[in-house]
Structure 1
Amino acid sequence: MTSVLRLFTILATFARYRLDLLLPRTNLPWWLRVLFAPLALIPAGKLTRGERLRLAMESLGPIFIKFGQLLSTRPDLMPPDIIAELSALQDRVPPFAKEKFCQLVEESLGDNVDNVFKHFDREPLASASVAQVHAAVLHDGRDVVVKAIRPGIEKIIQQDTRLLELIARLVEKYSADGKRLRPVEVVEDYRTTIFDELDLQREAANASQLRRNFSHSPLLYIPEVMWDYTRRKVLVLERISGIPVTNLDELEAQDTDMKKLAERGVEIFFTQVFEHNFFHADMHPGNIFVSREHPDQPQYIAVDMAIVGSLNRADQYYLARNMLAMFRRDYRQVAELHVQSGWVPESTRIEELEAAVRTVCEPIFEKPLKDISFGHVLLNLFRTARRFNMEVQPQLVLLQKTLLNIEGLGRQLYPDLNLWATAHPFLERWLKNRFHPKSLWQDLKRYGPEWMEKFPEVPHLVFNGLQQVQQLDDLRGELADYRAQAQRREHRAANRRRLTLAAVASLAGAVALIWPEAQHLHLASGISFDDIPAAAWALSGIGLLLLAIRR
């Protein structure tokens, strides 16, 4: 019953905000056009399509709000005007009862909160769509934050994601770009992402890995995980004290070096992607703070590590080379790399893709480098490749979203940020080091034991491979013999058919020869014998011809 009511709520919201106008009517089946026809009586008003979609998601609650936030990070799927509106979505979720929060923590930790903590603040510090945060103090005096998952949220997510999947299937079936944009996979990615966020031990593991990666770095600080107090639905982290990165007045008041702060944000991104291959993929301003210490050498602080990303070695390599080739205006290499990486089909004409990339990039590069948005250049490149049947690459989309966040933040902090001046030497150094003898030696040390373990099996594998090749050759020979036998059988069958026809024809000829003596006979059926002699002679001739051909 609850699911039915939820469905009616979603349909009513769909109608109220005229979301049917977002679907191309010409591609819809007749029954959907009939279903949507009464909606024409509801005025759409002066709201843009992006505003209608944003307001609908806000009214449908936290799961749809979070889905809207996800769509706002997918410029490869959504048009710019809708992206701009969905980017304004925020978690507008009131906190749930503090008594319920305490109960969740106590059930997970197996003790009363007043026993577990030296002090526990029962008033929430922050409230979001899937979790709530309270402040506390451990018995050793360390300040911490306690994060717990909202009660009953899993059931709501299951219901809403099933409905989203239904909508996605309709879009995929009836939208012109449905199959290419793969909306069902987008919903499935969302389902995976949001259920990953419900596992706070997973977030704790991500935080621990990021903290280890930057343990001796002045660039980024990650709060310590209190593992003794962390469970699947409860996470306890070191409480940080920093300035929200969007609070420019406070940053300037302490004489923060804004240029260095912006450049360090870019450096953090490239370090995570290319050196660590493990990057914080949700670095929006709400998750980033700046340390109050050393404003002349500012350090970032990151929280909420539920979403992280990584690339395989091939994607790392092709992405770095694509970026370098793009800014060197080597469009031929950009096109070749797209084919080599498998991002576009092998059948793609290199010359056509090169011309398309040049058309998009040349107007951009007429601007000063400091005015070029690196993230948007990459976005335009992927959009161009889409025309050549480039499928959505989830790992690249996550990276692109992170780059857009970092670059937007950097330009907000320091409008004259020249991202290319920061990124170019880093990429060149990384590509050079990738093939440096030290790097090769590190790979040898890392994979050497595995290679040595498998080395004794190599002769056996080679022998088996040769044996399989021999068996394949034998099989081909047997297949050829079978085909030859089949051809011979077919040839003999054809000969038998010709002989049979020749015999019938000869018999017909004999009938024609004795016909004069049979003129006095009559058939009971009343069929005339007038044409029989001519037909019989014709059949006789055909029979003789077939016999001649056979000989």
Structure 2
Amino acid sequence: MISKRIRHIKRYQEIVAVLVKYGFGYIVKDVGLFHLLSLPKQIISDFSTESASSAPLAAKIRAMLEELGPTFIKLGQMLSLRSDIIPEQIADELRKLQDSVTPIDPEQIEKTIVEQLGAPVSEVFASFEKDCFAAASIAQVHRAVLHSGERVIIKVRRPEIEAIINNDIEILWDLASLVEKRYVWARELQLTEIVDEFSNAIRNEIDYFREGRNAEKIRDYFSNNASVIIPKIYWDYSTHQLLTMEQIQGMKFGELINASPDSVNKKLIAERIVRSFLDQALDAGVFHGDPHPGNFFFFPDNKICYIDFGQVGVLSEEMKFHFSSLIIGLMRGDTEMLQRTLFEMSPTPDKLDERQFQMDLTALRDQYYELPFRDVHIGKVVHDVFQLTNKHHIVIPTNYTLLGKALITLEGMINQLDNAISILELAEPYGRKLLIERLDPQRLAKKWSRSLFQALTHSVQLPSLLTKTLKHLNTGKTHVEMELPQLDLLLSKLDRVANRISFSIILLAFSIILCGLIIGETMGAHPFLSQIPVLDIAVTISLIMFFIVLLAIFRSGKF
């Protein structure tokens, strides 16, 4: 960790300064990063917890993340999906994070295209629009035409963004581990695991080969469905840093809302959006993670088109079953099924109060039990489930929360087209199908045979493992690992005590020397020294040494 701080010292200093600026100086001081601030800031900054209460916390967090740049903006956007682990008011504020930036010089974009495709832009494309029509912190998008006459859009990653993200992730992981050691709430939230999760997500997002493969998987799934359009990927013009795809031109959501009933069937379009999304999530197991109105095009023949596959969720067979079981458990009023499903979806904390959890789960069930599907809003259901898991410190895996957030977004859009459509009503058959498949005799036989094989394998290995364990115990080679989260805090306090003792000793020594010199000068015991300004020289040297030691102690942040 120390080597990381030395390697990225300038960025560390920027981050620490911004944390202090927005009232989080007490965290900087508690985790031992006080010394990264310049001396003037160490003197004038407020490091008390009261400094964080001068403005709404959620707004300050959003402004802070925006100031810290692309990596932190993306982190905030990911956390905005996690209302299961952060308060709803903070999640709401983080959804306002702005990811629009000034476009970069077209020459740099052309240079990237040449580096990636190995030929000048004029050779690769029949025409290329230098002015981008969309720019964000990670990439910007340009229109072009291939020599074959096909119109395409090109998504180009901003230069150096990968190095910036990698550096920031290293720093984020270090900060998360320091905060976990200092605060109980951080350990309960498992901050380092959240950073690991975020690291995987953002690295996937900047890998345009991966985005292209995701788009192609969904395109292949809908290959026989003429009502759903997915843009074609042009692999000969795509790399990890550059993605070229078919240019789709259709109505935007605002135009669809204002379109006359004679030109489009809004109810049919709404149903197609819902069914196509449920097909992705609960059948294909790969779904568009950000189905907001800006990521759709619509057509007069009631076709729909998905665009931008930067966020894609993946659900295994087990995960699909768990999600549908959760919804069905609520509808059936089956508290036991709900509890079992939530426990299977996520590991439960050691200190979980199961009695209180079951009571809260029963109260949640009663809100929806026996209500008709049309009266239940899936967005409200997902929100309530996340609130419950957050209350009991149960961390829901990201793909579930991404699916939940996508359903909430989708419901908001569908209500504008036809508020009589119920996503839950359309989803119910998928859940029943998954339950029936789960109980299929062949599937159960395969599952039991796998479990039996694993049990037999472990039973065969058990004697050798037991022998090895006993041998280690007998020879004294057994290692015991202990985790002491507060050890660094204790050592930090010991450093402070030692520094204060050193400061006191230096001050005492300085006083004794000064007194001795004054007495010597007064007594006039050394005529030779009377010709030299001994007192002035001694005081000057002592003051310099005193301030050097004092500065070192203060810069350590442990005084």
Same fold (TM over 0.5): yes
Does residue 263 (structure 1) correspond to residue 267 (structure 2)? The answer is no
Aligned to 2:378: 374
Match status 1:290 vs 2:294: no
- Aligned amino acid, residue 413 of structure 2: L
Picking from 176, 185, 189, the partner of 2:193 is 185
Q: Distance in 1 between matches of 2:419 and 2:456?
A: 64
Change in Cα spacing, 1:332 to 1:465, as seen in structure 2 (3 Å) is closer
Contact 1:335 1:350 in 2 (8 A): no
Choose which of 57, 61, 83 in structure 1 pairs with 2:65: 57
Give 1:336's aligned residue: 340
User: Using the alignment, how far apart are the partners of 1:261 and 1:272 within structure 2?
Assistant: 17
In the TM superposition, what is the alpha-carbon distance from 1:64 to its structure 2 partner?
1.9
C-alpha displacement at 1:324, in angstroms?
0.6
Aligned mate of 1:409, from 404, 413, 424: 413
1:8 aligns with 2:16: no
Structure 1: distance between partners of 2:28 and 2:7: 31
**Separation in structure 2 between the aligned mates of residue 342 and residue 42 of structure 1, nearest angstrom:** 36
Q: Is the 8 A contact 1:230 1:236 kept in 2?
A: yes
Taking only aligned residues, the RMSD between alpha carbons, in angstroms, comes to 4.1
Which one is further off, 111-120 or 35-44?
Answer: 35-44
**What per-residue deviation string (whole Å, max 9, x for no partner) do you get for residues 270-319 of structure 1?**
21122101112233333x2232231xxx3332222233222222222222
Residue 422 of structure 2: aligned partner: 418
- Which amino acid is the alignment partner of residue 147 of structure 1? K
Q: Trace 1:441-460 onto structure 2 (pairs within 5 A).
A: none
1:42–1:214: structure 2 CA closer, same or farther, 3 Å change rule? same
Which one is further off, 233-242 or 365-374? 365-374
* Contact 2:140-2:155 at 8 Å conserved across structures: yes
Give the aligned partner of residue 214 of structure 1.
222
Deviation readout 1:6-40 (Å, 9 max, x if unpaired): 3333333323332458x799xx57997x9997256
**Residues in 2 aligned to 1:474 and 1:68: alpha-carbon distance in whole angstroms:** 48
CA contact (8 A) 2:257 2:416 kept: no
Measured at CA, do residues 35 and 325 of structure 1 come closer, stay the same or move farther in structure 2, by a change above 3 Å? farther
CA separation of 1:464 and 1:425: change in aligned 2, threshold 3 A: closer
Shift of 1:91: 1.2
Q: Which whole-Å deviations, capped at 9, do the CAs of 1:222-269 have from their partners, x for residues lacking one? A: 100111111221211000112333555444587433333333332223
Query: Which residue pairs with 2:122 in the alignment?
Result: 114
Residues in 1 aligned to 2:457 and 2:78: alpha-carbon distance in whole angstroms: 50
Q: What's the counterpart of residue 545 of structure 1?
A: none
Q: Percent identity?
A: 28
Query: Structure 1 CA distance, aligned partners of 2:324 and 2:457?
Result: 39
User: In the alignment, which residue of structure 2 is the partner of 1:18?
Assistant: 23
2:157 equivalent in structure 1 = 149
Does 2:165 correspond to 1:167? no
Instruction: Find the aligned partners of 1:59 and 1:387 in 2 and give their Cα distance.
Output: 30
AA paired with 1:384? L
Amino acid at match of 1:390: I
How far does the alpha carbon of each residue in 1:321-368 deviate from its partner, in whole angstroms, 9 at most, with x for none? Answer: 221111122222212333455644799787654322112342456977
Equivalent residue, structure 1, for 2:131: 123
**1:176 and 1:102, CA in 2 relative to 1: closer, same or farther beyond 3 A?**
same
Alpha-carbon displacement from aligned partner over 1:364-386 (angstroms, at most 9, x marks no partner): 56977545331332342244345
Aligned to 1:313: 317
Asked if 1:244 is matched to 2:252, the reply is: yes
- Name the residue aligned to 1:73: 81
Q: Could you tell me how far apart the structure 2 residues matched to 1:147 and 1:473 are?
A: 53
Distance 1:463 1:159 in 2: 46
C-alpha distance in structure 1 between counterparts of 2:70 and 2:171, whole Å: 15
User: Partner letter of residue 321 of structure 1?
Assistant: S
Which gives a bigger RCO, structure 1 or 2 (Cα 8 Å, sep 6+)?
2
- CA shift digits 1:394-429 (9 cap, x unpaired): 332232232222223323433444222222233223
Give the superposition deviation at 1:209: 0.9
Q: Residues 210 and 31 of structure 1: is their aligned pair in 2 closer, same or farther, counting only changes over 3 Å?
A: closer
Say if 1:102 and 1:113, in contact at 8 Å, map to a contact too. yes
Q: How does 1:530-549 map to 2 (within 5 A)?
A: none
Residues 1:278 and 2:286 aligned together: yes
Q: Contact 1:339–1:348 (CA<8 Å) still a contact in 2?
A: no
Name the TM-score, length of structure 1 as normaliser.
0.72
Larger radius of gyration: 1
Long gaps (5+) in structure 2: 1-5, 35-41, 475-559
